[in-house]
Structure 1
Amino acid sequence: MKFAIHNLRMIRARLRQNGWVLAELFLVFIVMWFLCDSLGCMKYTFYRPLGFDIEHVYLLELVKGGESRDSSLTDADKYWSVLEKLQQEPTVEVAALCYWSLPMSGSNSYNSLSAQDSVWVNARLINTTGGYIDVFRMKDDARCPFSEMPADRNHVMLSQATVNRFKRRIPEFSQDTPLGHPYDTTLTVTQSGTIEAFRTYRYGDDAPCYFYRLDENSVKKRYADENANIVFRVKAAADGDDYRARFVREIAARLDTDNLFVADAVPYTQQQHQFEVLNGDTDKVNSQAIVVLFLLVNVFLGLIGTFWFRTRRRRSEIALRLAMGSTKSQVFRLLTGEGLLLLTIVALPAMLVCYNIGMAELTIGRTELISTWPVKWGVLRFLLGSLGAWLLIALMVMMGIFFPARQAMRIEPAEALHEE
């Protein structure tokens, strides 16, 4: 306590000299908070679990060529035949066929369901066979698995994000709440369970979805002339760097049906990368990282330079303290304590400014100034960013004091006083 009071008196005695340091620390803290907030959101978003797994998952690349040898076959017949053949392959753990339903894909379809005839929630439609959940290792209701849900339009599974949207508008909403179709109020849709929260791509928020199961009959009846996607999970023991080449060389030809040919099996990690590039996420991340790195380097050099210059100008004071009996560690603690106290003094008003900037994002809307990531603004995010900013600046302050102070302490006190 006495140490802090002594430092406060020193700061007060040098108020005019410390004024520009306080102003610089104030601005640097705001900039550093922005950098820590951006980096924190980026890291959290990048590493936050997707809610599904794409390791050992492949997407079939299918092409149509030439005239059909059997005019009685529809596209749905051919896709279903490929799926059945694929499921018989020894290296394949599970496979699924779907329409406009893949994660990290630009192909989507949306619709709304209602609760209590007045609350509508729009969500993405996942039209797929029962193996979809196992292919992507999603988590459904163990008591009512998706693979056993009736394959019709009157039974649906909701993702957790969809349930949350309903609950925000209807607090008493539950799995027993009946749902209605948007254009036919006479039909009732029964909830068959819930799919745990997941994101359809790495930089997205939890996805609101309606899951409808397809079987052979529904596929051939409703999607006779539509293009489908087929994904499959390879057994971990059979997968490897050469699996794609082996698949094309040894398996693909066995899956061909009529004029529908299997051209390739693309690892879903590659699909993820392509989607992020096409969606602009990769460019956004790279641009954000460059800006953050540029600002961080400039702040680092500027702040260290300021305290380096400030400490060198106090060589005579350091020499005098050593001559009066202070130890080198005591002098160093005094200088660093003063620097950290200056930082703490400006941190409080700077945090107030930072908090108001964050609240502006919350009340006005998501802004490019703060973050484009799906990390909700809150007290925890604000405090973590402020703590990170304080620690980084404190490190810079200590580095800016330590080296020149160590050089000053190597000079004999009499020599330093003589130079002064």
Structure 2
Amino acid sequence: MIRHLITLMWNRKRANGLLIVEIFLAFVVLFSVGSVGVYTWRNYQTPLGFDYQDVWEIDLNPGTQPRAEQFGTLQRILQRLRSTPGIVSVSRSVSNTPFAFSENSTTLDTGEGTPQGYGDVYDAGAELPEVMGLRIVAGRWFDRRDDAVSRRPPVVITELMQKALFPDGQSAIGKTVRASLGKPEEFQVIGVSGPYRAGGELSEPRPGFFLYVSPQDTARAMQVLLVRVRPGAGAALEKRITNDVRAINASWEMGVNPLPTQRLAQLKVNLAPPVILGMVCIFLIVNVALGLFGVLWLNISRRRGEIGVRRAMGATAGNISLQVLGEILVLTTFGLGLGLLVAAQFPLLGVMGVQTGVYLTAMPLAAGLLYLLATVCALYPSRLAAGIQPAVALREE
């Protein structure tokens, strides 16, 4: 049966060529959009590694105050915030807070010729795990022991960074690593944390590491704070914080951005490209479906005599319906074969650095959708062909 269908398709290769090209292009579009969808879904399913609920980002602007006086003012603000009812904990940070559309990244390695880990850099105080619910899986977080000046400052790396630096499964605790932060500098790993995906749910999980900011650190001017507040805190607490900052120094300005609000804003921006691609894909698939349906309808109209002869020779309505359905599935297979040859190049060439599993998942999804589309488009025309009566068809010829 299959051999017969292939022979029929070959005998009408000119008429079917355009349809095969159309199916091929539809597969390429579906595969591309499917890859984006699978990639986005996998990222969304990966844990963030922190709790953003009831966390506020406070951005402070010292205004015209001399730089030499800013650290003292910042310390007074921190002291006031930690004593404010409704605030659970406060940690110093930098601009690349979660969902902030900001990143700071560099390379970390363990020496010449060793594996490197490229990831995000976060400056954090000792309170960050309490503020963000960050999980420590090995070693410890920063504490007062790290306030003393040492030849190798402490660093906490994420699990992904540990895997990148030590692919053989070694523990990173106590090891010396190097980072290029303006100039090469050595650090000692004191802890390994869980994931910390400041880029949000739709971003690709990346390695990262944390640098310690001691309470006495004046080298880095950081006027960004992460504050955990009690559940239900709202405008009243925000107004009190604003008034307290102005009371400490009237030249300082501040803005409060709840992380849940920033998360929603980031999701809207990051979801825009996949949604647009999906809409374009739907438009193209609808056109492909209309094309398949129209071609099948036209073929049946032109082949009424052939179908009438088959019915007169004893072919049942089911045989005719299966033949029409089989022909479109064979054509779909030809188009998919060409499309799979193109799609197979993506994981082989490592296009866009996406994991191979994303492409291997998108391929069968795109193929399955095309087979489903071809089957649905062929159902009604196949029923029309099955309903042709031999006498009527032969009289029309």
TM-score normalised per structure 1: 0.74
The corresponding residue for 1:138 is: 134
Determine the C-alpha separation between the residues in 1 that align with 2:240 and 2:180.
47
1:122-133 equivalences in 2 (<5 Å): 123-133=119-129
| Residue 50 (str. 1) matches residue 44 (str. 2) | no
Are the counterparts in 2 of residues 114 and 121 from structure 1 also a CA contact under 8 Å?
A: yes
Which residue matches 2:260?
A: 269
Cα 1:300–1:186 change in 2 (3 A) is closer
- CA 1:133/1:359 → structure 2, altered by over 3 Å: closer, same or farther? same
Aligned equivalents of 2:103, 2:34: Cα separation in 1: 35
Give me the whole-angstrom Cα distance separating, in 2, the residues matched to 1:26 and 1:66: 63
2:354 is aligned to: 375
Given candidates 76, 79, 97, the residue that maps to 1:78 is 76
Equivalent-residue separation in structure 1 for 2:180 and 2:241 (angstroms): 44
**1:304 CA drift (Å):** 3.4
Q: Distance in 1 between matches of 2:103 and 2:10?
A: 64
Secondary structure of the corresponding residue to residue 37 of structure 1 = helix
Decide whether the 8 Å contact of 2:153 with 2:186 is kept in 1.
Answer: yes
Match of 2:98 in 1: 103
User: For each residue in 1:14-57, what CA deviation from the matched residue of structure 2 results, as whole angstroms up to 9, or x when unmatched?
Assistant: 45554444344344433433333333334444554433342333
| Counterpart-to-counterpart distance in 1, 2:198 and 2:257 | 18
Contact 1:54-1:268 at 8 Å conserved across structures: yes
Report the counterpart of residue 336 of structure 2 in structure 1: 347
- Of the candidates 36, 43, 54, which is equivalent to residue 38 of structure 1? 36
Distance 1:117 1:16, change over 3 A: closer
Matched residues in 2 for 1:60 and 1:387: separation? 47
Structure 2 unaligned regions, length at least 5 = none
Alignment of 1:141-290 (within 5 A): 141=137, 143-146=138-141, 148=143, 150-152=145-147, 154-167=153-166, 174-179=172-177, 189-202=187-200, 203-216=202-215, 218-219=216-217, 221-223=218-220, 226-235=221-230, 238-239=231-232, 243-248=233-238, 253=243, 258-259=248-249, 265-274=256-265, 281=270, 284-285=273-274, 287-290=276-279
Structure 1 counterpart SS, 2:339: helix
Please state whether the residue corresponding to 1:266 is helix, strand or coil: strand
Deviation at 1:408, TM superposition (A): 4.1
Aligned partner of 2:396 in structure 1 is 419
Matched-pair contact (CA < 8 Å) for 2:107–2:118: yes
Give how far 1:157 is off: 0.6
Match of 1:4 in 2: 2
Q: 1:384 aligns with which of 361, 364, 367?
A: 361
Change in CA separation of 1:140 and 1:171 when aligned onto 2, cut-off 3 Å:
closer
CA contact (8 A) 1:112 1:122 kept: yes
Name the CA distance, whole Å, in 2 between partners of 1:295 and 1:46: 27
Identify which range, 394-403 or 3-12, moves more after superposition.
3-12
Taking the aligned partners of 2:259 and 2:293, their CA distance within structure 1 comes to 46
Residue 248 of structure 1 contacts residue 263 of structure 1 at CA under 8 Å; is this kept in 2?
Answer: no
Residue type of the partner of 2:287?
N
Q: Partner amino acid for 1:209?
A: G
Q: Is the 2:318–2:386 Cα contact (8 Å) retained in structure 1? A: no
Of 46-55 and 331-340, more deviation after overlay is shown by 46-55
CA RMSD of aligned residues (A): 4.1
Kindly state the Cα deviation for residue 174 of structure 1 after the two structures are TM-superposed.
3.5
Q: Which amino acid aligns with 1:309?
A: L
- SS state at 2:344 partner: helix
- Map Cα deviations across residues 189-220 of structure 1 (whole Å, 9 max, x no partner): 3211212234331454333332133343x34x
Q: If the length of structure 2 is used for normalisation, what is the TM-score?
A: 0.77
| CA gap 1:246/1:405 in 2 versus in 1, 3 angstroms | farther
CA contact (8 A) 1:158 1:195 kept: yes
Judged with a 3 Å threshold, the aligned counterparts in structure 2 of structure 1 residues 337 and 55 are, in CA distance, closer, same or farther, namely: farther
Alpha-carbon distance in structure 2 between the residues aligned to 1:205 and 1:244:
32
Give 2:382's aligned residue.
405
- In 1, Cα distance between the equivalents of 2:330 and 2:23? 11
1:355 is displaced (CA, Å) by 1.7
Partner residue of 2:295 out of 306, 316, 320: 306
Aligned ranges for residues 111-130 of structure 1 at < 5 Å?
A: 114-116=109-111, 119=114, 123-130=119-126
Assess, with a 3 A threshold, how the Cα gap between structure 1 residues 60 and 174 changes in structure 2: closer, same or farther. Answer: closer
SS of residue matched to 1:60: strand
Displacement, 1:402?
1.3
Aligned residues: 388
Change (3 A) 1:194 1:251: same
Q: CA deviation at 1:258?
A: 0.6
Distance 1:301 1:40, change over 3 A: farther
Deviations 1:264-318 (A, max 9, x none): 54221332455578xx756644554454344333333333333343344334444
Q: Which amino acid aligns with 2:302?
A: R
